[in-house]
Structure 1
């Protein structure tokens, strides 16, 4: 039927890291000097001490996180060059890492960076409708920032709380070196708008599930002691008593 040719296929593709190539801007180009602070360099020494000399590239991800925290929520291209030099890798290795992971930002973001999970469980529980409603409420499109600099909205792949879908993560890097990174789960339009309004007005927000009768990930309304899905230290793996085995 296709005479040796593959049929055309069409798919909706989401680009979580934004555009793949770098474009110089007034706030982000290779001529703007950037360096880690002395306090950050102390943390870098601690991080790099964990890896052998032949594996310094293992420091790329934690150093990117450190740069983003120091820089108020995003990573300039000159910070990527600095990290490449410290980790002794080609700059392209750092660029590839930054563009792969959605939690790294390559342009300035608002005080509250709101990222929607768009993986299958959140898709079938209405994340697209929540995104559309949020765009309308804030007057911005995906990837945009409100004029007051308070909110930026974005997308992210699976956040790991699928039983509590749909969900968002809200990060706040506006007070370096401190930052927050909070999950909000079991959302609907009403509960999501309440979170946005509380953040805008500086009121406390409820982190985690937004259902009144759910604590962590247990079935709604159940006794939380009937599930193992709780935030507590898990038991360690079984290991035979070596000393006893030697006798």
Structure 2
């Protein structure tokens, strides 16, 4: 009579498999909890640095134009139906984004620009992430410190933070500094979760950093 041998996992082997699967799941499966204010502040910091980089690579000096400095690269925030911002150069000095040729291309997607919208813009070229309200639930953007009362920052060819050049009441000459002395510029961001993050921009160097988001 032929003996049939049945093979099976031992209890120890089953426990080991369950433990390994649990560890792999913890490493592979993304966390569902989202820190929107951290994502927003990191994105803004990255785009401030990018604006500074563009300004340093693109010297706007023009001896034949007394208002050449108004074309400096700028990051500007506004609140229509939600908080949003643009990275642009005001070529025609009209105080706003006028056409796609004034807006920076998205370095992560060259087919799109770093703007959430302007007159005549096609949706296919805009970046939804620039709409802070819709993307991250941002409900407030407040400039403080040495840049209190402003809504944007321009940079000169040395990467220094300057008064925003594209708005009324902004810079009136090429040496108008936004940050003076040792005073920092701060940008406080609040969102609908009650969280707050503060971005700091240093004088002279324009070094930008963000603190960990906290409850206000």
TM-score category, normalised to shorter length: under 0.3
The structure with the largest strand share of the pair is 2
More helix by share: 1
Does 1 or 2 have the higher relative contact order (CA < 8 Å, sep 6+)?
2
Please give the TM-score of this superposition, normalised by the length of structure 1.
0.21
TM-score (norm 2): 0.23
